[in-house]
């Protein structure tokens, strides 16, 4: 069974999508439509912007979405048995699988980025990568700390990202290293994504999601919040509504897809992060990518 997976924030690089734009008229048309919808020329930043320019949340998220979706919509062999995306990538997966239109998906991603940026400014907060600890240990340590700190991204066995207030994340890093974690590294991010501190963003985005038409996708979409396959539009919408404050269960998603018959994983979008994570979940997995 063929699975297409879509990356999240962090996969961006200068020059992303430029070859596609130059060599494929359909991609060029899609990218120009995105410039019109967003109200600024995101393609100029994607092709020529600095790493700092690309790191702005309002740029990063639409840019990765645009690059990923363009690859899916113009691939002649895009006939997935399953799809999934990591955080932001879930929106790419839903558009690629026909659950929402490209235009609606891009508007939601742009609204999501703006809402997350505002939430970050409201509450100074951060994330940290914890390496070499079990999920259970990370969950236990987070639960014992008084401030806001929660598991945010279950990326692969032995790699879990925590998210929360500056002080609580710092304390969790110290305690986790004392408890045996190999490393606990603060990440250079704008705020505490996939934690309760994203509640203002969730509320702001919920209205936009409620207005968006969700259709039955062409194949099951494995969603972040429960790592389960979904085709019912009402369930898909409900899971999207809580995605911003819920953890990304990527490890569980990959294992669930494998259990359901996945034997070929193809990453569509900038970078190859998901291929690496999938290999750590399933060492003999058949993985490839397209940029």
86 annotated active-site? no
Map residue 215 onto helix, strand or coil. Answer: coil
Q: Which pair of tokens denotes residue 153? A: 């991204």
Catalytic residue among 87, 163, 165, 195: 87
Supply angle C-alpha 56, 61, 62, rounded to 5: 110
Q: What is the DSSP letter of 182?
A: S
In order, the DSSP letters of 56-90 are SHHHHHHHHHHHHHHHHHH-TT---SEEEESTTHH
Q: Which pair of tokens denotes residue 175? A: 């305690």
Q: Which pair of tokens denotes residue 164? A: 């929360």
Pairing of strands 82-85, 2-6: parallel
Catalytic residue among 86, 92, 125, 194: 194
Q: Which residues have a catalytic role annotated?
A: 87, 194
């Amino acid at each position: 069974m063929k699975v297409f997976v879509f990356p999240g924030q962090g996969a961006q690089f200068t020059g992303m999508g430029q070859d596609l734009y130059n060599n494929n008229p359909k991609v060029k048309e899609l990218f120009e439509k995105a410039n019109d919808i967003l109200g600024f020329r995101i393609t100029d930043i994607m092709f020529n912007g600095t790493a700092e320019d690309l790191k702005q949340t309002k740029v990063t998220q639409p840019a990765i979405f645009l690059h990923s979706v363009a690859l899916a919509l113009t691939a002649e062999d895009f006939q997935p048995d399953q799809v999934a995306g990591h955080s932001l990538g879930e929106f790419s997966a839903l558009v690629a699988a026909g659950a929402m239109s490209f235009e609606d998906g891009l508007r939601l991603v742009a609204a999501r980025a703006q809402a997350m940026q505002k939430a970050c400014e409201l509450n100074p907060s951060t994330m940290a990568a914890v390496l070499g600890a079990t999920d259970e240990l990370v969950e236990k340590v987070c639960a014992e700390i008084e401030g806001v700190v929660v598991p945010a991204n279950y990326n692969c066995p032995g790699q879990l990202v925590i998210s929360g207030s500056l002080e609580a994340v710092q304390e969790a890093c110290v305690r986790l290293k004392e408890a045996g974690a190999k490393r606990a590294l603060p990440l250079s991010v704008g705020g505490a994504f996939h934690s309760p501190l994203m509640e203002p963003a969730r509320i702001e985005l919920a209205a936009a999601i409620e207005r968006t038409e969700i259709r039955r996708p062409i194949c099951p979409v494995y969603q972040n919040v429960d790592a389960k396959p979904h085709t019912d539009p009402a369930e898909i919408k409900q899971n999207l509504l809580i995605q911003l404050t819920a953890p990304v269960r990527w490890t569980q998603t990959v294992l669930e897809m494998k259990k359901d018959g996945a034997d070929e994983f193809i990453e569509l979008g900038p970078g190859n992060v998901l291929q690496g994570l999938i290999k750590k979940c399933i060492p003999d997995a058949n993985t490839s990518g397209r940029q």
